[in-house]
Amino acid sequence: MFASLRNTIPRQFSRAYSTGAPAGGKNGNGVLWASLATGAVLVGAYYYTRSKEGQDSPLTGASNGPVTKALDPKKFVAFKLMESTPINHDTAHFRFALEPNQELGLDITSCFVVKAKIGDDEKPTIRPYTPVSPQDARGYFDLVIKRYPNGKMSSHIHSLVPGDVLEIKGPIPKYPYKAGALKEVGMIAGGSGITPMLQLIQHVLEDPKDNTKLTLVFANRSEDDIILRSKLDTFAKEHPDQFKVHYVVDKASSKDWNGDVGYVTKELVKKYMPAANAEGVLVGVCGPPPMMSLISGPKAPDYSQGEVSGILKELGYTSQQVFKF
């Protein structure tokens, strides 16, 4: 099941401002890591499939009791690593265990924070992460994490082996998304900044009542650095009238590359993002600090949204139309 991930989640993005070509029904089936056609996924000894009503139906091995939420917003909870799968030299997929009839309990457009005491540090290190598993996945949740050379937490998580635990608290709310409240959402992501965007894309496309149009510009250093490309392409193919994805890379490594090459420029944003003078639009941005500074401006020192600056301000977007993940 994870073999395909090794081919679809390669090296992470390192330069912040580079950018691909458009990719192109809505169905009620859940899209999980395995079996996009049936919505079914094998989780340990538990096999689930998504019903027409959008709920996971246990086929075998699962309890028929009530679904519980695993996260606690007031305290850290320890979650056990089930397995880790290397994707490339610095990125890996991590699956953590939940109870068979338990969901993580993460709201859409929210994240959680992880805590670990690393080395001889007196204080624990705390970092935010966004899982890539579906919101209603039961029995597990997934993280895709790049190990940075000086990243304490990313290096710590990469050092975990099955049976080790990670302390997590959440959810930490971000944008209060409501189905139908917006007509169009534009997203600009760089490298691992794709994870909150994927969370929103997956949620919207799985809701047959949500017709919000979605457009993603995904910037990476090279074609091989495009994380979750096959998943995004599948979404675009299955929902051509609702979701478009455009990839951008610093340098094209293949003569067959038909996406954009270079930086995420004002012209590129104007070309792909919903217009600032349109009604019911939002542009979400997530990526490394240099990219954020260029596109939207950074968050404020207190981690609030802060003022909009950069390319989006130049194009006339207001603070009500921009969200920095």
Instruction: Please enumerate, by residue number, every residue annotated as part of a binding site for FAD.
Output: 127-129, 144, 146, 152-154, 195
**Cα 288 to chain center, whole Å?**
14
Q: Which stretches within the chain are classed as H helix?
A: 3-8, 152-159, 194-206, 229-238, 266-272, 289-295, 310-314
> What would you measure as the largest C-alpha separation in the chain, in angstroms?
56
Q: Spell out the SS3 assignment of 79-140.
A: EEEEEEEECCCCEEEEEEECCCCEECCCCCCEEEEEEECCCCCCCCEEEEECCCCCCCCECE
* Residue partners of 41: CB distance under 8 A and separation at least 6: 32, 33, 34, 35, 47, 48, 49, 137
Q: Which residues contribute to the annotated binding site?
A: 127-129, 144, 146, 152-154, 195
The single residue listed with the structure tokens 């993940």 is 325
Distance, in Å, from the CA atom of 270 to the CA atom of 77, rounded to the nearest integer, reads: 43
The answer to whether 264 and 303 are in contact (CB under 8 A) is: no
Tokens linked to 255: 């003569």
The answer to whether 58 and 46 are in contact (CB under 8 A) is: yes
